[in-house]
Amino acid sequence: MRLWTLHPRFLDCRGLVALWREALLAQAVLCGNTRGYLHHPQLLRFRNTAAPLSSIASYLRAVLVESARRGYHFNASKIPLADTAELIVTSQGQLDYEWTHLKAKLRVRDPYLLSTMESISRPDPHPLFSIVPGLVEGWEVVQPLRLQSSATGLKRGGQGDEPS
């Protein structure tokens, strides 16, 4: 499960469809409708909000908007009506790590899309997230082979850790 901190517009079609499915699964977990993925680390930042169901609904709405922009027909009725959610604070290190992770995926899956994003050094986050200085979040399962070098500054830390 990957609930991207990155804005959904950066995902290829396969990634956007997978995000929709995985966010719907996250919603089911947070609603108590499934026992699988109950302790998945990607769910921590939603669980730690005042209203986890509103947070995942807001997350899904942004994915839905991106899908409609592309002409896809995701089922909006799968998102319950919910109050607007508070922004979730996430570190710049997390966003940077995910950007590196996505680019590695696109290098294989969609080199053309990757080439259109070469000039982007700081991608926009998903609208639900507010980015603050810091390292990769402590809940992230870091894949060291995906990191290009220690010069990227992508080190693992906990919430609130400052970059070194």
pLDDT in tens, 21-33: 999 999 999 999 9
And the tokens for 134?
């810091």
pLDDT score at 82: 77
And the tokens for 102?
């996505």
pLDDT tens per residue, range 132-150: 999 999 999 887 744 444 3
Collapsed DSSP state (helix, strand, coil) of residue 59: helix
33, HSE (Cβ side, Cα atoms, 13 Å):
8
The residue type found at 134 is G
Collapsed DSSP state (helix, strand, coil) of residue 129: strand
Cα 69 to the center of its chain, rounded Å: 19
**Whole-angstrom distance, CA of residue 44 vs CA of residue 34:** 16
pLDDT tens per residue, range 56-74: 999 999 999 999 999 999 9
Ranges of each domain in the chain: 8-78, 88-152
Collapsed DSSP state (helix, strand, coil) of residue 26: helix
55 contacts 130 by C-beta, under 8 angstroms: no
pLDDT tens per residue, range 89-129: 999 999 999 999 999 999 999 999 999 999 999 999 999 99
* Angle in degrees, 0-180, between the axes of helices 13-31 and 92-109, rounded to the nearest 10: 130
Beta bridge partners of 88: 129
